[in-house]
Amino acid sequence: MSLSSLKTISLQRFSLNFAANIIAALWMLVGSTRAFSWVKPTFIQFALFALLALGSNVLFSWLAAENGSVFNEQGMVSYLIWPMMILLSGIILARRSGNQTLVFVPVVLWLVADTLSALLQSMVQFLGSYGWLPDWSYSFLPILFLILFLWQTLALLWVFSRRLRTPWWERIIVLVGAVALLTIWQRNVADQPIFKQIPVQPVLAEAALYEQPRLLQQALDSINPSVSGKTDWYFMGVAGFADQNVFRSEINKVRQLFDVRFGTSGNSLALINNTYSWLDEPIASKRSILRGLKKIGQQMDTDEDVLLLTLSSHGDQDIIQLANPPLEMDNLDAEWLREALDASGIRWRVIVVSACYSGSFIDELASPTTVVITASAADKMSFGCTNTAEMTYFGQAFFAESLRENTSFAAAFKDASLRVSEREGFMGFEPSEPQMVVGSLMETALPAFEQVLFDSSRPSVANITNANEISDATINIGADTISNTASNVAVTNE
Is the entire prediction scored with pTM above 0.85? no
Is residue 328, in this structure, part of any structural domain at all?
A: yes
Q: Are residues 173 and 311 in the same domain?
A: no
Distance between CA atoms of 269 and 311, rounded to whole angstroms? Answer: 12
Is residue 315, in this structure, part of any structural domain at all?
A: yes
Query: The domain spanning residue 285 has which CATH number?
Result: 3.40.50.1460
pLDDT digits (tens, 9 = 90+) for 155-193: 999 999 998 888 989 889 999 999 998 888 888 888 888
Q: Are residues 326 and 456 in the same domain?
A: yes
Nearest to 309 by CA among 322, 321, 293, 298: 293
What is the tally of structural domains in the chain?
2
Give me the phi and psi of 314, to 5 degrees please. -75, 150
| Domain end residue (candidates: 197, 225, 257) | 197
| Domain end residue (candidates: 166, 197, 228) | 197
Residue type at position 23: I
Is residue 349, in this structure, part of any structural domain at all?
A: yes
Q: Are residues 302 and 449 in the same domain?
A: yes
For residue 492, what are the contacts with CB-CB under 8 A and spacing of at least 6?
A: 367, 368
- Listing DSSP states for 364-416 in one string gives HH--TTEEEEESS-TT-------TT-SS-HHHIIIIIIIHHH-SSHHHHHHHH
Half-sphere exposure of 27 (CA within 13 A, CB side): 17
Task: Count Cβ atoms below 10 Å from residue 404 Cβ, excluding itself.
Answer: 10
CB 314 within 8 Å of CB 240: yes
Question: Which value, to the nearest 10 degrees, does the dihedral of the CA atoms of residues 459, 461, 467, 473 take?
Answer: 110
Per the structure, the complete domain to which residue 377 belongs is given by 206-489
Q: What is the pLDDT of residue 27?
A: 96
Is residue 494, in this structure, part of any structural domain at all?
A: no
Sheet with 306-312, strands from edge to edge, namely 268-272, 233-239, 306-312, 348-354, 370-374, 435-438
Q: Are residues 111 and 236 in the same domain?
A: no
Low-confidence residues of the chain, pLDDT below 50?
1, 456-494
Is residue 452, in this structure, part of any structural domain at all?
A: yes
Instruction: Judge residue 90's burial from the number of C-beta atoms within 10 Å of its C-beta, 0-12 exposed, 13-18 middle, 19 or more buried.
Output: buried
Distance between CA atoms of 322 and 238, rounded to whole angstroms? Answer: 9
Q: What is the pLDDT of residue 489?
A: 32
- How many angstroms separate the Cα of 16 from the Cα of each of 10, 82, 107, 236, 481? 9, 27, 19, 70, 91
Q: Are residues 293 and 389 in the same domain?
A: yes
Q: Are residues 483 and 395 in the same domain?
A: yes
Based on its alpha-carbon atoms, the radius of gyration of the chain, rounded to whole angstroms, reads 31
CB 156 within 8 Å of CB 105: no
Q: Are residues 193 and 254 in the same domain?
A: no
Is residue 156, in this structure, part of any structural domain at all?
A: yes
Is residue 337, in this structure, part of any structural domain at all?
A: yes
Q: Are residues 193 and 216 in the same domain?
A: no
Q: Are residues 222 and 140 in the same domain?
A: no
Is residue 339, in this structure, part of any structural domain at all?
A: yes
Q: Are residues 370 and 235 in the same domain?
A: yes
Q: What is the pLDDT of residue 439?
A: 96
Q: Are residues 129 and 168 in the same domain?
A: yes
Q: Are residues 29 and 148 in the same domain?
A: yes
Q: Is 330 helix (H, G, I), strand (E, B) or coil?
A: coil
Q: What is the pLDDT of residue 202?
A: 66
CB 375 within 8 Å of CB 364: no
| Domain end residue (candidates: 168, 197, 226) | 197
